[in-house]
Amino acid sequence: MNKKVFEDSSIVTKKNVIVMIVAILLFTGFLIINILRYLELGVREPVVIFLDIMFLYVIFSRCYPKYTNILDKRGIRFIRKSLFLSGEHEVPYREIIGVHKYKAALVHAAKFRRSFTFNSALDGRTVWVLAYRTTNKKGKPENRRVFFKASEDFLNTFAEKMPNKIRITEEEVAVEIFRREEESKSRR
């Protein structure tokens, strides 16, 4: 086990809790109405009932988990603890390309093979994207990213460990990805 340098956990904000409670109550109401329609009126709509259950599952899976980000000597670890999914994801410092603020867009300059989400919908902080390049099980290099939320203290400590790679722009990350892809092509 690596010695922890810094640890940060998800924070629940009251506003987001209220929104999620309303959503849960709404979809629970829809589910009850659809079950009663089935039992009392004989209206068979299993797809609607299934969708109500799936919406509730998605809401719980986005709200309930507690996320912890840990900086240690080798890299950064993201830990999820929840009812449905628990897990850990580790990224060594040497593979990190950069960390930038998440900005919703239809098209991004760089392509990512895999994306991991380690942030609660109840956490009101800014979403950050950690981009990194690693090799898959077949030995091929691929770009991946992790969506996470962190405190300013965590990001400051992270920036001390990796100067000029934390809080950079998405464009700077894309340029670095393209540079690394060109390097790997020229080695072949």
Same structural domain for residues 50 and 121? no
Task: Look at the chain and count its residues.
Answer: 188
Query: According to the model, what pLDDT value does residue 69 have?
Result: 96
Instruction: Indicate the pTM of the whole model.
Output: 0.82
Q: Which letter does DSSP use for residue 166 in this model?
A: B
Same structural domain for residues 83 and 142? yes
Helix (H, G, I), strand (E, B) or coil at 67: strand
Beta bridge partners of 149: 127
Contact partners, residue 49, CB within 8 Å, separation at least 6: 31, 34, 35, 38
Query: According to the model, what pLDDT value does residue 175 have?
Result: 93
Same structural domain for residues 177 and 122? yes
* 133-152 average pLDDT score: 93
Same structural domain for residues 89 and 152? yes
Q: Which letter does DSSP use for residue 165 in this model?
A: T
> pLDDT digits over 169-181, tens only?
999 999 999 998 8
Structural domain contains residue 42: yes
Query: What are the helix (H) ranges across 65-169?
Result: 152-161
Phi, psi of 162 (to 5 degrees): -135, 75
Q: State what percent of residues in the chain have pLDDT above 70.
A: 98
> pLDDT digits over 65-105, tens only?
789 999 999 999 999 988 777 889 999 999 999 999 999 88
Query: According to the model, what pLDDT value does residue 188 have?
Result: 64
Query: According to the model, what pLDDT value does residue 2 have?
Result: 63
Task: Please check whether residue 128 is in contact with residue 149, taking contact to mean a CB–CB distance below 8 angstroms.
Answer: yes
Same structural domain for residues 36 and 84? no
Query: According to the model, what pLDDT value does residue 16 have?
Result: 84
Residue 23 belongs to what domain range? 14-63
Among residues 63, 79, 101, the one where a domain terminates is 63
Helix (H, G, I), strand (E, B) or coil at 179: helix
Same structural domain for residues 145 and 179? yes
Same structural domain for residues 51 and 76? no
* 38-61 average pLDDT score: 90
Beta bridge partners of 75: 92
Mean pLDDT of the chain, nearest integer:
90
pLDDT at 111 over 70: yes
Query: Which of 60-64, 73-77, 118-122, 156-160 bottoms out in mean pLDDT, i.e. has the lowest?
Result: 60-64
Same structural domain for residues 74 and 120? yes
- Higher confidence at residue 23 or residue 85? 23
Q: 19's torsion region: left (phi>0), alpha (psi -120 to 50) or beta?
A: alpha
Phi, psi of 46 (to 5 degrees): -65, -30
Task: Please check whether residue 163 is in contact with residue 137, taking contact to mean a CB–CB distance below 8 angstroms.
Answer: no
Confidence of residue 6 (pLDDT cuts 50, 70, 90): confident
Structural domain contains residue 9: no
- Higher confidence at residue 99 or residue 9? 99
pLDDT at 1 over 60: no
Same structural domain for residues 34 and 88? no
Distance spanning both ends of the chain, measured CA to CA: 36
Number of domains in the chain: 2
